[in-house]
Homo-oligomer: A and B are copies of this chain.
Amino acid sequence: MISQETINEAHDRIRSFIHRTPVLTCQTINDRAGADLYFKCENFQKIGAFKARGGLNAVLQVAHNQEGSAITTHSSGNHAQAVAFAARQVGMPAYIVMPGTAPQVKKDAVRGYGAEVIECEPTLEAREQGVRDVITRTGAVLVHPFDDDRVIAGQATAAKELIEDYGQETPFDVILAPVGGGGLLSGTALSAHYFSPQTRVVAGEPDGAADAVLSFQSGRVEKAPFVNTIADGLLTNLSERTLAIIRDHVSAILTVSDEEIIAAMRLIWERMKIIIEPSCAVPLAVVLKYRDQFTGQKVGIILTGGNVDLGKLPF
């Protein structure tokens, strides 16, 4: 059970290691959306993504509690960097299992933080086997990308800051986050629940990785009918843990096509002059596609990350 106090403690624990990222607005995009959008720029976060928050909150506790002498995880990208970065802060070795298909820029960055990268096939089974092998070999402690209360509590601090900085006098009508494994979405929903209870939370998911929307309806962890999306950070399924939180505290999960994701990404690049990765554009794509559900509202959007491979842009 992740309490309000758990999230406050997580924030105090990680505060000196992270950026309090800025919140940007853009008149052109507001006009396009017919709503007032506040973008929480976690693309400017340490390691270029919100995942620094959850990784730090977990690794700092592993180190403090002396739970082990090394850290391991599996990740398609940003969580890998987050754990590598966090492990370096506490001086612990990190072993990161990554699919060989992950963007080169992300593998390079993980190695840049001094971690060892173990490449594997791009399946959940191969990743989990890779982690088991590392644990057998090194005795490392696993920091799961999302199925971990400490990680979720860390991710929750992004929405907490957004609410503290821009949701006090006039609360947000809605806060949006993308959903992959559900760590960020769970944390966002819990922060809204505790710190801004009148704010609803809506998730965006790619059509080509639409597992969460099914799980949300059925109450069981479902797989996506097909997997094919540019949003490479959102390929994972929910866990029982994240599904339970999401079912309790999220209002809706809305899906968008890759075309809509790319258009939203391009709009942010061109008009806001900031670099975001495709997964990060999903919430804006949702706001533009389901315009009627957000018209005239005060909308918070977690911009999740900016670690895009400049050699492989979709435009």
Contacts and interface: CB of A to CB of B under 8 A. Distances in A.
Nearest to A28: B112
Contacts of A43: 273
Contact of A269 (B266, B272, B275): B275
Contacts of A270: 105, 310
Interface string A247-290: 00000000000000000001001101111100000000000000
Contacts of A44: 272-273
Contacts of A105: 270
Contact of A311 (B276, B310, B311, B315): B315
The range of chain A's interface size is: 10 to 19
A1 interface: no
A311 B310 CA distance: 12
A112 to B, nearest CB: 9
Interface in A37-95: 43-44, 48
A311 B48 CA distance: 24
- Count chain B CB atoms within 10 A of each CB in A22, A43, A274 and give the residue with the most: A274
A312 to B, nearest CB: 11
A273 B48 contact: yes
A310 B268 CA distance: 12
A145 interface: no
Contact of A273 (B275, B311, B315): B275
Contacts of A276: 273
A306 to B, nearest CB: 4
Interface in A279-315: 306, 310-311, 313, 315
A22 B41 CA distance: 14
A43 to B, nearest CB: 5
Contacts of A266: 310
Contacts of A273: 43-44, 48, 274-276, 306
Interface of A: 22, 43-44, 48, 105, 266, 269-270, 272-276, 306, 310-311, 313, 315
Given A43-B273, A274-B275, 4 more contacts: A44-B273, A48-B273, A275-B275, A310-B313
12 contacts: A22-B22, A43-B273, A105-B270, A266-B310, A269-B275, A273-B274, A273-B275, A273-B276, A274-B274, A274-B275, A275-B275, A310-B315
